[in-house]
Amino acid sequence: METHPVQEGFYVILLTRRNRALGRHLVSLGTLTFQYPSGGREAVEGALRILHGKTVPSQVTLNSRFFTRDIVAQGGEWVP
């Protein structure tokens, strides 16, 4: 049985203001892995704040990281 390496493409999708696709642009080819939080911890923390009568932010931003072969040992890079 042969194995073939998989190459991933990273694309930017261009959208209109009504979220209709205008096109796509290939940014890079290679292996890229993302790590992103599920939001479960933030949801539970928010629910507990509500139960205790505290204020809850209307928007919660979850940070993500990306990894390539060159930066995996460093723990990836944060996505701005």
Q: What is the pLDDT along the chain (80 residues), one digit of tens a residue?
A: 444 455 777 788 888 888 888 998 887 777 666 667 778 888 899 999 999 999 998 888 888 887 777 777 787 788 77
Indicate whether 2 belongs to any domain.
no
Domain limits at 65? 8-78
pLDDT for 47 equals: 92
Q: Classify residue 72: in a domain, yes or no.
A: yes
- When divided into structural domains, the chain yields a total of 1
**pLDDT value of residue 12:** 83
Please check whether residue 38 lies inside any domain of the structure.
yes
> What pLDDT is stored for residue 52 in this prediction?
95
The verdict on residue 3 lying in a domain is no
Question: Which DSSP state fits 1?
Answer: -
Residue 53 has a pLDDT of 95
Q: How far from the centroid of its chain's Cα atoms is residue 51's Cα? A: 30
